[in-house]
Structure 1
Amino acid sequence: MTAVHESFMTTEEFEELARAADRIAEGVRLEFIDGQLGAKAMPDGDHGRIMQWLIRTFMMFRPELFLTPEQGLRVDRYRKGRARPDGALAAADAFVGQGEWADPGPVLLVVEVTSDDQGTDRRDQQEKPLAYADTGIPVYLLIDRDSCEVTIHSEPHGSRYERILTVPFGATVRLPKPVDVELNTEPLKDWVR
């Protein structure tokens, strides 16, 4: 017997709620993954510094691409979910003319950096890999500041990534194609909690 997962709200209702939250509650960023509503924690200074480092790294090695922070993406099966990754790597003009929730088709990589919020961390480690794989995003980069590890998910197949590589901060690792960038993760040691 197959369980049917029913959402308590539609995608349209979520988008309306997210717009209202943006207007009335400063710093609240909502996501809707696998029919579940989640609030994303606001980034701290170390989180912001990690994103700066990644943006600079991609600009040096892949100048035709840009790591866009906080771009909302339509994710999940049938694109009914809404995620706001910490960064989405795509061609510089990939999101031009799109609204708050963009087509994920041109995205080569999404990145999430863990926060102090347990719910956000759980989504980053369990729910988002499934949603991003199901969407067909080639690479998901998770920077886990609690375990001091970088996890690279690649080769999406259905709702899972076929390859998962975890290395400690300080290791040098190559992000697989189509990203094809080598990351020396040594600087991450300075930006942990």
Structure 2
Amino acid sequence: MAPEEPGEPGPGGSFALLARACTGTAFAPCGDPGMTCTPAPPTGEAAPPEGFLTCIQHEGERDCPATYPDRHVFYASVEDTRGCAPCGCSEPTGGTCSILASAFSDASCSQFVVGVVVSSEAPFCGAISPGMALGSKSASVVSLEPGTCEPTGGEPTGGVALLGAATFCCRPAPLPEPVPA
């Protein structure tokens, strides 16, 4: 059987199938000298699922021998470093604005001298009559069209690393004996 491809874990780092392997000295010789027997599960515990009745387990990702051809690889944990690159915006383009710039001869902006509309779309240079004293100035927005920018960043980063691999090599379930008719 071909090796199983691990599925990518979901947001919580979990997989759909869980395996638990026990180690110890609970093995005994069987009637067949080429076999090793284990006791039945304790009362109240479920028996192994179909396809996992007779298995051997190896640490790491390993190939299985021909006598135990059904290969299953399980992982103890995952290291999830998935994320996104920081989002940003390019320099804005296409924005325009215009203001009304005014000059006054007194300090309280009440004695109007001159006013002119200044736009970001065209340069302006103005003059005030020589000898005219200026005491204050003001500016007010006439129009404002913000520019636009192209979004940047947001690309996926990182990945998922599967850690603590264990390979289970199992014998296929025996076919049921034919029932005599």
TM-score scaled by length of structure 1 = 0.20
Q: Which has the larger Rg?
A: 2
Higher-RCO chain (CA-CA 8 Å, sequence separation at least 6): 2
Q: Which has the higher helix share?
A: 1
